């Protein structure tokens, strides 16, 4: 059986194909059935469901759907695009009525040619049968089929042009924030840096002996930047999860007009991060030139949020305090969740001035906090906590902070539970990593709890010691969530506390997944992959953190994403697309 490769191509190309139907020399019924199997919608562009047969307006078969105007056809293509579907749509346009009578005569010639092909055996010659039949039809009609062919081409071209014009109009309206129909918007908007990473990695595990001198190794250049990495990780995971989420992520980032900027725009002032790695892929030090991101105009960021109206906006610490403040203020006013990735120790505190402004403008913190998520590592958490307590901000002296801490009602039982948690092994498969005592000795648990009035959920990245989540479930949410039935379970490394008004505080540690040291290639993008994966989970399930089992799956997937990137030479592992 001769099956045209065009049918398969139509199943993986998001286009609108305008056709006069299927020639009757082919098996129309099987063709329509095969298109259905491939997931390609077939739509009659007519007043009825009759599917055309090239020279004839009726083939004896019906299309599942029909439209009779270009605007409706364009709406179908527009909806396909917004849903991120990868397949095309076939529009069957009948031959003009003026050529219907001639078409009936041509159809008789087609039927005669088919009979002859069956008699002489040509019909059994696979793909050679079609050109023979077309040539024979031309002979039987003495060239009269040419005029009909020209009419078919002109008609389908006219209809195709009308559909294309209407689709462009629909797309333009869809990009307007005033559009009330199907909107071209993502679920996740990432605002932050996009950079070129220049990485120098020494061959030796210990390069201390090479200080003040050159060290043998390798130098590579890859796409990077915290915001870009997070967006790529989220996009890859969401696309792998569902084709309908292939357009769920948008990155907003300034790029320069130099060679590095051109590299960034072609591959997807001056954004460059130069990093030095040891032989095992560990980061020794680096210099990041992110001046263009720090000068990013807040108006552009706000315009992007207003245009796309996402559910979540993720920002990284490379943005200026002014820009972060504008984004947080707008998102709070429009009930959009904010996720903050601190980026580095130095930049981790930039978010706090925006929080200070928010506290001055609001009489309530916590559930109404302007920042829904933050994902610091231990060092960044320490810096954020110190800055929040110190001048000039002194956020922990604000009345709303005291009210929030008092409402948590974390007394003696909570402290005893933390002490028991601290005695648990940090990792079940690696006793050498010790216990969770560092959560108390380094003040990780205490600092995270004290920052909860400003950040509703904290995901603390503890490196090879795992991930420590600290959540504050508001009372109105807690009573409907699965956490209401949860209790402290030290074996699960989980501490649950009930606040005064019914809110719930959750501290849970997730041990690091096993990764042989020899498999680690580059540690620089692992944390960004964790954040990107968590954001992807939040897009898929906005209430993921309200259920213990779902939280476990979210963190496990994020840790697996980090491992994939650790094993990759890229800032984000391409393997996340198959996750």
Domain total in the chain: 2
Which residues does 334 contact at the CB level (< 8 Å), separation at least 6?
Answer: 305, 309
Same domain as 465, residue 512 = yes
Within a domain: residue 445? yes
Output the CA torsion 225→228→234→239 (10° steps): -140
Q: Is the peptide bond before 392 cis (omega within 30 degrees of 0)?
A: yes
Which residue segment(s) compose the domain that 566 sits in? Answer: 188-578
Within a domain: residue 44? yes
Same domain as 498, residue 362 = yes
Query: Is 278 within 8 Å of 206 (Cβ atoms)?
Result: yes
Within a domain: residue 407? yes
Within a domain: residue 178? no
pLDDT 10s digits, 62-101: 999 999 888 889 989 988 887 777 789 999 998 887 777 6
Instruction: Give the pLDDT of residue 454.
Output: 95
Instruction: Give the pLDDT of residue 221.
Output: 58
Same domain as 150, residue 228 = no
Instruction: Give the pLDDT of residue 390.
Output: 94
Same domain as 250, residue 136 = no
Calculate ∠ Cα 285-289-293, nearest 5°: 130
pLDDT 10s digits, 384-416: 999 999 999 999 999 989 999 999 999 999 999
Within a domain: residue 420? yes
Instruction: Give the pLDDT of residue 569.
Output: 79
* Residues of the chain scoring pLDDT < 50: 176-184, 260-261, 263-279, 281, 283-289, 363-367
Same domain as 335, residue 441 = yes
Residue after which a domain boundary falls, among 119, 149, 173: 173
Same domain as 458, residue 367 = yes
Same domain as 306, residue 417 = yes
SS3 state at 175? coil
Within a domain: residue 183? no
Instruction: Give the pLDDT of residue 216.
Output: 67
Instruction: Give the pLDDT of residue 514.
Output: 84
Within a domain: residue 287? yes
Separation of alpha carbons 303 and 313, rounded Å = 13
Tokens of 564: 């994939």
Same domain as 154, residue 273 = no
pLDDT 10s digits, 460-479: 999 989 999 999 999 988 98
CATH of the domain at 100: 3.40.1790.10
DSSP string, 231-252: HHHHHHHHHHH-GGGTTSEEEE
Same domain as 163, residue 209 = no
Within a domain: residue 181? no
Same domain as 241, residue 371 = yes
Separation of alpha carbons 49 and 63, rounded Å = 5
CATH of the domain at 551: 3.40.1190.20
Same domain as 153, residue 193 = no
Scored b (16 or more CB within 10 A) or e, 27-59 reads: ebeebbebbeeeebbbbbbbeeebbbbbbbbbb
Instruction: Give the pLDDT of residue 208.
Output: 54
Same domain as 196, residue 125 = no
Residue after which a domain boundary falls, among 173, 203, 222: 173
Q: Which of 382, 444, 449 has its CA nearest to residue 409?
A: 449
Residue after which a domain boundary falls, among 139, 173, 207: 173
Separation of alpha carbons 15 and 157, rounded Å = 15
**Does the model's pTM come out above 0.75?**
no
Instruction: Give the pLDDT of residue 369.
Output: 72
């Amino acid at each position: 059986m001769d099956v045209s490769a065009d049918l398969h191509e139509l199943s993986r190309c998001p286009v609108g194909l305008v056709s006069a139907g299927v020639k009757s020399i082919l098996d129309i019924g099987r063709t329509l059935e095969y298109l259905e199997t491939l997931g390609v919608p077939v739509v009659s562009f007519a007043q009825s469901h009759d599917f055309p047969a090239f020279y004839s307006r009726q083939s004896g078969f019906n299309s599942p759907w029909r439209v009779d105007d270009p605007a409706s056809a364009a709406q179908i293509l527009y909806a396909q695009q917004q849903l991120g579907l990868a397949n095309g749509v076939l529009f069957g346009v009948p031959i003009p009525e003026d050529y219907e009578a001639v078409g009936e005569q041509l159809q008789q010639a087609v039927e005669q040619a088919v009979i002859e092909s069956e008699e002489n055996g040509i019909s059994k010659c696979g793909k050679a049968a079609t050109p023979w039949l077309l040539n024979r039809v031309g002979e039987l009609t003495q060239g009269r089929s040419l005029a009909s062919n020209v009419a078919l081409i002109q008609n389908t071209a006219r209809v195709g042009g009308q559909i294309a014009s209407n689709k462009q109009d629909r797309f333009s309206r869809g990009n307007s924030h005033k559009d009330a129909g199907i909107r071209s918007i993502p679920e996740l908007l990432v605002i932050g840096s996009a950079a070129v990473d220049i990485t120098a990695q020494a061959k030796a595990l210990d390069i201390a002996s090479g200080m003040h001198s050159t060290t043998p190794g390798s130098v590579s250049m890859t796409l990077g930047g915290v915001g870009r990495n997070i967006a790529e990780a989220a996009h890859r995971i969401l696309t792998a999860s569902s084709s309908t989420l292939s357009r769920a992520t948008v990155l907003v980032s300034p790029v320069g007009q130099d060679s590095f900027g051109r590299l960034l725009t072609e591959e997807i002032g001056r954004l460059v991060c130069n990093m030095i790695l040891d032989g095992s892929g560990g980061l020794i030090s680096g210099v990041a030139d992110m001046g263009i991101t720090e000068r990013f105009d807040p108006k552009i960021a706000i315009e992007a949020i207003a245009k796309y109206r996402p559910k979540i906006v993720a920002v990284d610490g490379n943005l200026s305090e002014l820009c972060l403040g504008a984004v947080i203020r707008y998102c709070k006013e429009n009930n959009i969740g904010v996720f903050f990735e601190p980026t580095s120790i130095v930049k981790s505190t930039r978010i706090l001035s925006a929080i200070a402004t928010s506290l001055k403008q609001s009489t309530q913190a916590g559930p109404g906090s302007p920042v829904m998520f933050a994902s610091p590592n231990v060092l960044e958490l320490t810096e954020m906590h110190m800055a929040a307590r110190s001048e000039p901000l002194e956020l922990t002296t604000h009345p709303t902070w005291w009210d929030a801490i008092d409402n948590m009602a974390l007394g003696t039982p909570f402290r005893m539970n933390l002490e028991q948690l601290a005695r648990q092994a940090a990792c079940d498969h690696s006793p050498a990593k010790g216990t969770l005592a560092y959560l108390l000795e380094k003040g990780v648990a205490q600092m995270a709890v004290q920052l909860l009035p400003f950040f509703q959920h904290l995901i603390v990245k503890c490196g090879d010691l795992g991930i420590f989540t600290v959540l504050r479930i508001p009372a109105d949410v807690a009573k409907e969530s699965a956490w209401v039935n949860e209790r402290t379970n030290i074996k699960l490394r989980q501490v649950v506390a009930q606040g005064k008004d019914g809110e719930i505080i959750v501290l849970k540690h997730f041990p690091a997944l096993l990764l042989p040291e020899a498999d680690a290639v580059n540690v620089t993008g692992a944390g960004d992959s964790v954040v990107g994966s968590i954001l992807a989970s939040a897009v898929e399930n906005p209430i993921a953190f309200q259920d213990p089992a779902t939280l476990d799956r979210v963190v496990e997937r994020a840790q697996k994403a980090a491992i994939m990137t650790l094993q990759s030479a890229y800032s984000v592992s391409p393997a996340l697309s198959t996750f």
